[in-house]
Amino acid sequence: MENFLVDIPWVLQHRGDPGLRLVDLRRPADYLGGHIPGAVNIPIGEVLHITGQVAHVPPAERFAATLGARGISNDTHVVAYDDRYGTYACRFLYTLDLYGHTRMSMLGVNFDRYQGEGHPLETGTPAVPRSTYTPRTQADRLATKADVLDRLKDPGTRLVDTRSPQEFMMGHIPGAASLPWMSLIAPDRLYRSPEELRALLREKGVTPDREVICYCNMGMTSSHTYWALRQAGYPRVRMYPESYTEWGMDPTTPKE
Amino acid sequence: MTETAVQPHKKLDLSGEVCPWPVIFTQKEVKKMAPGEVLEVLTDNLPSVTNIPDALAKEGHQVLATGEASPGVYRILIRKK
């Protein structure tokens, strides 16, 4: 996961590079009010497929159309940012990863910091040529309810619940470790260092020799944790997008 | 006067926000209000129509009403305890 997190000087230096596309995941009104020059806007709602209470990943064709309309093709280096401690950017990058994208990074600080430091801003929407995107689904990035049920008693899999301790106490998937996503954030950055992340994960019995499945309520904070695990060098990480919203509503699934 | 006719003291438009932020921003706003005051929350995220009332009711606040304000936009009225 080299160069996954990039800092503000890196963005300022590379924002005009050919083949690089900055993606702003904030609300459209906030984006139009001022964004990093050259960035395109993809509101988080376009990255989710919500049915009832449950958020799924968007169908491949729909996601490909979203990317194509922003001039993103399979070889674009995508650099995402948001003002929600990375939760929106991480879910977008997770979806890119699921659909086989390889060149991606995330601004390692909240957009508020970029703005607060007085760096250049642009209003309006840049004109970008449409492109074609071909999704190549990597099914081993995703866990379904059936996958989780299959692995409940598998010692080779560790489930990680990224919700708050209060939510965990009110009900969780049996055997899951509680690892609130906020515990992975550093005071001035969106993530602690990979060494600190590995130590925190080990404390919870989350070791790289096991497959890890992370979940929350809607697959947002668990996407943040997904990228923490990837940065920490964990080789087999899945995310359960439908998460505890789906699990908790199903009267047939076991709860603890 | 029906509950939905209550005049809110504050309004919070959370359109475009998804979990966990609608609940976090609502809790933050309610903390700033005086007991008895009413907050109106607007959201276009359907799961929040359940999550916000659940979370706020657990903290002891009164959920006065939930409903669709316009197509795809939901209104939640909360009275601070």
A171: domain CATH number?
Answer: 3.40.250.10
Task: Note whether A216 and A181 are within 8 A (CB).
Answer: yes
Interface contact flag, B18 A218, Cβ < 8 Å: yes
Query: And the tokens for B61?
Result: 């606040």
Q: List residues bridging with A6 in a β-sheet.
A: A107
Determine how β-strand B38-43 pairs with β-strand B73-79. Answer: antiparallel
Whether residue A96 is found in the same domain as residue A199: no
Task: Note whether B68 and B75 are within 8 A (CB).
Answer: yes
Whether residue A90 is found in the same domain as residue A153: no
Whether residue A175 is found in the same domain as residue A104: no
Query: Which residue in B14, B19, B51 has the most chain A C-beta atoms within 10 A of its own C-beta, making it the best mutation to test that interface?
Result: B19
Task: Note whether A195 and A201 are within 8 A (CB).
Answer: no
In the Cβ-directed half-sphere of A176, how many Cα atoms lie within 13 Å?
Answer: 29
What angle in degrees, to the nearest 10, is found between the helix axes of A87-98 and A221-231? 70
User: How do the pLDDT tens digits run along chain A, 256 residues long?
Assistant: 668 999 999 999 999 999 999 999 999 999 999 999 999 999 999 999 999 889 999 999 999 999 999 999 999 999 999 999 999 999 999 999 999 999 999 999 999 999 999 999 999 899 999 999 999 999 999 999 999 999 999 999 999 999 999 999 999 999 999 999 999 999 999 999 999 999 999 999 999 999 999 999 999 999 999 999 999 999 999 999 999 999 999 999 999 9
Check if B18 is active-site. no
* Number of compact structural domains in chain A: 2
Distances (CA, A) of B81 to A110, B29, B35: 33, 13, 5
A55 belongs to a structural domain = yes
Interface contact flag, A27 B20, Cβ < 8 Å: no
Whether residue A38 is found in the same domain as residue A91: yes
Q: A47 to chain B: nearest residue by CA? A: B18
Query: And the tokens for A220?
Result: 């947002």
Whether residue A40 is found in the same domain as residue A102: yes
Task: Note whether A220 and A87 are within 8 A (CB).
Answer: yes
Phi, psi of A221 (to 5 degrees): -70, -25
Distance of residue B19 Cα from the nearest chain A Cα, in angstroms: 6
Domain ranges across chain B: 3-79
Q: B55 to chain A: nearest residue by CA? A: A167
Phi, psi of A209 (to 5 degrees): -80, -10
Whether residue A100 is found in the same domain as residue A151: no
A123 belongs to a structural domain = no
Residue at A167: amino acid letter = E
Query: And the tokens for B60?
Result: 């002891």
A83 belongs to a structural domain = yes
Host domain of residue A62: 5-116
Task: Note whether B22 and B16 are within 8 A (CB).
Answer: no
Whether residue A29 is found in the same domain as residue A81: yes
Q: What is the CATH number of domain B3-79?
A: 3.30.110.40
Burial class (CB in 10 A: 0-12, 13-18, 19+), A74: middle
Whether residue A152 is found in the same domain as residue A97: no
| Predicted ipTM beyond 0.90 | no
Whether residue A172 is found in the same domain as residue A216: yes
